[in-house]
Amino acid sequence: MDMWRFGDYKNYTSLNLLAAVLGIMSPKDDIDGSMVGKTYWQDEDIDRIVNYCQKDVVTVIQIMMKYAGLPLFADENIEYINQKE
């Protein structure tokens, strides 16, 4: 985020928006940060939160690859751990 803001700390850019601007698939296909509390405390679905966090990490890595001018990782080369079928 620091690299995207170019030193301007007055604004906020969401990971979803940053990914979209850079042509990277959005990680927000299930839940978002506002839903984590309910998902944990009411739904008791920690696996869903783990999946959400792993997708965010992959998106940050893809963004850094894009910044570095390197090729993005192909979906088939990304492995998520502890996925329940």
Q: Using one digit for the tens of pLDDT, what is the confidence trace for 36-79? A: 999 999 999 999 999 999 999 999 999 999 999 999 999 899 98
Q: Do residues 15 and 57 touch, judged by C-beta distance below 8 A?
A: no
Q: pLDDT digit string (tens) for 59-70? A: 999 999 999 999
According to the model, what pLDDT value does residue 23 have?
93
In a domain, 82, yes or no: no
According to the model, what pLDDT value does residue 30 have?
87
CA distance linking residue 52 with residue 64, whole number of Å: 19
Non-local (6+) Cβ contacts of 78 within 8 A are 58
CA distance linking residue 6 with residue 34, whole number of Å: 27
**Number of domains present in the structure of the chain:** 1
In a domain, 26, yes or no: yes
- Domain span including residue 68: 2-77
> How far apart are the two ends of the chain, measured CA to CA in Å?
33
According to the model, what pLDDT value does residue 18 have?
86
In a domain, 84, yes or no: no
In a domain, 83, yes or no: no
**pLDDT surpasses 80 at 7:** no
